[in-house]
Amino acid sequence: MRFFDGAAVDGALGYPGLVDILQAAFEQGAIAPLRHHHAIELDGRPEATLLLMPAWEASAAGAATAGRYPDNAERGRPAVNGTYLLLSAESGETLAVMDATRLTAWRTAAASALASRYLSRPDATRLLMVGAGAMASQLILAHASVRSIREIALWNRSPERARALMARLCEQGLNVSLAADLEAAVRRADIVSVATISTDPLIQGAWLKAGSHVDGVGAFRANMRETDDALVRRARIYVDTRAGAYAEAGDIVKPLNAGVIGKEAIVGDLFDLARGTVGGRKTAEEITFFKSVGAAIEDLAAAIAVYQKA
């Protein structure tokens, strides 16, 4: 049995290599039941969530356990902490135990970059990152690995956190600036990536310029939302998995339940895109929207990659 802490996971993965790995995984497929959600009620604190995410294929099986604690940022801790268990599909023996917090950050950003390959304009150069949490730097690096990003704008409700993240990214040689006006930043961006814990829409469809691509990462429960009705009406919509989107993605579930859109508005998922059964962006002017809530097939593919690298 091997143990991989966060540093070991970071050392084994990179972009765009992991994007390629996820593309192959979605093309091949795996068995991945819809994840379990269990509410953890805490006295005087926001409700936390325990997530259980299993998946298996011919060579390996695995399961991620993750706890989402929405007030952890106030304590200087990641909002999501978890552990990944990688097993032999043949015998069930434990192959590895990994830091799922880092694994999840890598695979989530890689899935967004995979979608961007199909959905953002090939000539996209301006990225807006909305949110300055644990996912923000990963999403920026992943998007920059598949598109020639020259300008990165960063917006966050807390300017202090945004400044701290900007300083770290600038040290890596990235051209990052702070966006004081969210609407103006959205209107300028070619790609808008959103990773927050907002329960109310932040991004309005009326702000989007022709040809833009929206990457929705943060609203992982049906009662959360980062985009408004106008956006889902204007955009061609894609998701990571249909089952996950219909059950968990507030940006999809809420407009579906309200009759704003029907299920036919979901053009395809990452399985469809990777296998070529549906097309991605059709014109330079259309607006595209990718909504992810995370999929166990992504965890499994990333964990296998870490194990094989070692």
Q: Across-strand partners of 94? A: 87
What is the domain range of residue 149?
120-294
Report the alpha-carbon angle 112-56-221, nearest 5: 45
Does 111 have pLDDT greater than 90? yes
CA–CA separation, 135 vs 154, rounded Å? 13
pLDDT band at 278 (very low <50, low <70, confident <90, very high): very high
Residues 40 and 164 in one domain: no
CA–CA separation, 232 vs 209, rounded Å? 14
Q: Are strands 36-40 and 2-4 parallel, antiparallel or unpaired?
A: unpaired
Say what the alpha-carbon torsion angle 172, 101, 302, 116 is, to the nearest 10 degrees: -60
Q: pLDDT at position 107, please? A: 97
Instruction: Give pTM, 2 decimals.
Output: 0.92
Residues 163 and 241 in one domain: yes
Residues 163 and 26 in one domain: no
Q: How many CB atoms lie within 10 A of CB 181?
A: 10
Q: Is 178 helix (H, G, I), strand (E, B) or coil?
A: strand
Q: pLDDT at position 125, please? A: 98
Residues 135 and 237 in one domain: yes
Residues 206 and 79 in one domain: no
Q: Identify whether the C-beta of residue 190 lies closer than 8 Å to the C-beta of residue 119.
A: no
Residues 237 and 265 in one domain: yes
Residues 257 and 130 in one domain: yes
Of 145 and 51, more confident: 145
Residues 68 and 197 in one domain: no
pLDDT band at 260 (very low <50, low <70, confident <90, very high): very high
Average pLDDT for 63-67: 90
Residue 15 sits in a domain whose CATH number is 3.30.1780.10
Residue 221 sits in a domain whose CATH number is 3.40.50.720
Residues 286 and 147 in one domain: yes
Residues 36 and 70 in one domain: yes
Of 79 and 94, more confident: 94
